[in-house]
Structures are given as structure tokens and as C-alpha cells.
Amino acid sequence: MAPWELIQLTLMFLTVALALLAVELSNLIYAVIALCGMYVTIGLLYWTLHAPYVALFQFVVYAGAVIVLFLVVVALAGGEAQVEG
């Protein structure tokens, strides 16, 4: 296995782990931070697949704008609240 493939495989597992964390965490702030990490790792995967424009779009739009919007909504809704269930 080439080192490049090992990096991609590591990023894939990290993306899945962060996605599961974003779904399973009960604290909303931590869930949004895990979602941001997932978006960043997806952007890094695009970069390793030689799609720099898609990676840049991923970083700017999703990891930048959407996460800021989520954090503002969670902060206004009360970020200390725990999700029950």
C-alpha cells in the first residue's frame, strides 16, 4: 500500500468517526465541532483526490459559513442544553 493511499484511508476512517461523533454527542457545541472536523476531513480527502477547487469550496462554504451559522443558532438556542434521548 502506497503512503498516499494510507493517508486517504486514514482520512476516510477519521471522517466516519467524526460523523458518528456528530450524531451521538449530547452536547450541541461538541456535536457542531465534530461536524466541522468532518467537513475539514472531507475537504482534505478532495485535496488528496486532486480536486483542489472542490476542496476549496468545501473549506470555504461548509467548514466556514455553514458551521458559523450552526454555532450562532446553537448559541442563540442555548448551547448548554443537553439533547435527551
Complete domains list, the chain, with CATH: 3-77 (1.20.120.1200)
What per-residue confidence (pLDDT) applies to 73?
82
Count of other CB atoms within 10 angstroms of residue 85: 4
**In the chain, alpha helices (H):** 3-24, 28-48, 52-57, 67-77
pTM for this one? 0.81
- Name the residue with cell 460523523: 19
Selected residue with higher pLDDT from 46 and 74: 46
Which conformational region is residue 45 in: left (phi greater than 0), alpha (psi within -120 to 50 degrees), or beta? alpha
| pLDDT (average), residues 1-7 | 89
What are the backbone dihedrals phi and psi of residue 79, each rounded to the nearest 5 degrees, phi first? -70, -15
